Amino acid sequence: MSIQLTEAIARYLKQLADVRLASAHTVSNYRRDLTRFVEHGGDIPIADVSRDGVQNWMVAGYGQGLSPVTLARRLSALRGLLDMAMQSGWCERNVAAGIRPPKQPKRLPRTLPPEQTSQMMHATDSSAEERDLALFAVMYGCGLRVSEAVGLNLDDISMQGAELRVFGKGKKERIVPIPDGVMHLIQNYLDQRAMSSASEAALFLNQRGGRLTARSVQRMLKKRALETGSDMSVTPHRLRHSFATHLLAGGVDLRAIQELLGHASLATTERYTHLDMAKLTEVYDSAHPRAKRKS
């Protein structure tokens, strides 16, 4: 028995959120991608989806100037939908399974030099200075994603054990140590927070006493960079990349960094070894006497 595409998509997205515990960001992206597929080929029975139809959709996206990353995500969303459809008996096979995604460009994660991260921690006139310092210190000092930082609750912090309980992608839990300097800033913030009447479980609160959002943290970070004279290209993810790169440069084992970042695959973490080698090459070319070509 086959069902229409829109009905299959609705059930797939519900399974993603409720069973596979995908993030709201992933569910939103997949919903948008699969809606575009329906707009391209119509709300047909899912059993009628053809390999040619999938390839034509990908080619149309390429013609619209979509990036390889976006096209690969589109294909991933469709593959997941058709996998579930096949398992549910709505179609006989996954026609997207043999289609290769476009080749991804090899891009190294961008980082901030240590002096820039230090500058971000200079005092400002912010009315929420203790909160901002604690938040940015946690993001950089513990290597958290912005979604993980704003998702922290008060009971996720062990001040006695100097540890954070973090819920990453897929609600996967990990324990992250808190450096001494970050502990000090968190305690300052908690002392100030205790004077408010907020009953919210969230650790980091906005001015109305509710949980901060990822978008508001991005804006706060840009504002702080402007006020402290830091690099204006800073983003929450650049802080996380900087955390990993600075640990690697300090001699920390790659598998330890993988655990701290919550990466499912070591291959993801290995990008930082390429980054470190690129930096070493840059230093070598600029400083080593035999690196310069003779004219």
- The per-residue pLDDT for range 166-178, each reduced to its tens digit, is 998 878 889 999 9
- pTM score > 0.85 for this model? no
Between residues 107 and 231, the one the model is more confident about? 231
Catalytic residue among 184, 222, 237, 279: 237
- CATH number of the domain to which 27 belongs: 1.10.150.130
Is 94 a residue whose pLDDT tops 90? yes
Catalytic residue among 31, 36, 79, 169: 169
Clarify whether 40 is annotated catalytic: no
Catalytic residue among 73, 131, 145, 241: 145
Query: Does residue 250 form part of some domain?
Result: no
Domain that holds residue 73: 5-87
Catalytic residue among 240, 271, 274, 292: 240
In this prediction, residue 36 carries a pLDDT of 95
121 and 187 in one domain? yes
CA within 13 Å, CB half, 237: 4
Clarify whether 246 is annotated catalytic: no
Query: Does residue 295 form part of some domain?
Result: no
Residues in the chain: 295
Clarify whether 79 is annotated catalytic: no
Query: Does residue 98 form part of some domain?
Result: no
Clarify whether 240 is annotated catalytic: yes
Number of helical H runs and strand E runs in the chain? 13, 3
Query: Does residue 199 form part of some domain?
Result: yes
Give the number of domains in the chain: 2
Where does a domain end: 204, 227, 244? 244
In this prediction, residue 32 carries a pLDDT of 95
- Phi-psi region at 171: left, alpha or beta (left = phi > 0; alpha = psi -120 to 50): left
Between residues 83 and 110, the one the model is more confident about? 83
Clarify whether 184 is annotated catalytic: no
165 and 62 in one domain? no
Task: Give the rounded percent of residues in the chain with a pLDDT score beyond 70.
Answer: 88
221 and 127 in one domain? yes
Clarify whether 263 is annotated catalytic: yes
Under DSSP, is residue 97 helix (H, G, I), strand (E, B) or coil? Answer: coil
78 and 120 in one domain? no
